[in-house]
Amino acid sequence: MDDAVLYLRDGSITAVSPAAAPPPPGFESVPVTNVRGTIFPGLIELHNHLPYGVLQLWQVHRLYSNRADTNHRYVGDTATRTQMEVRGWVAEGDGPETVTMCAPV
């Protein structure tokens, strides 16, 4: 909602109203703070990176088509990687699972 007022009480959103609407009961004397931006309730510090080890890692496999047009594909599960290998794709990466990288889920 553009040009709105968000009302909070005890850490929870109580109401959201158009800026021109009167405040809900109990908020008549509360000053409005203009944040001049977008509010994402429930999300934590969107510009920052999570510390390592917070989320489960997703293993990413890289496969090479071994053709003249040189295509690479990244897949996130072993079953898809195996299906592509059967069709002639070559797995690239390290270790027994030919993992190229790990990324947070």
CB 83 within 8 A of CB 94: no
**Residue 48 belongs to a domain:** no
- Both 62 and 36 in one domain: the answer is no
Cα torsion angle, 34, 39, 43, 48, sign: negative
pTM for the full predicted model: 0.40
Q: Looking at residue 11, what is its pLDDT?
A: 78
Whether residue 13 is contained in a domain is answered as: yes
Residue 71 maps to a domain = yes
Q: Indicate if 1 and 39 belong to the same structural domain.
A: yes
If one counts the domains in the chain, the total is 2
**Per-residue pLDDT at 57 exceeds 80:** no
Which residue range forms the structural domain that includes residue 12? 1-43
The pLDDT, as a whole number, for residue 27 is 94
pLDDT the model gives residue 94? 77
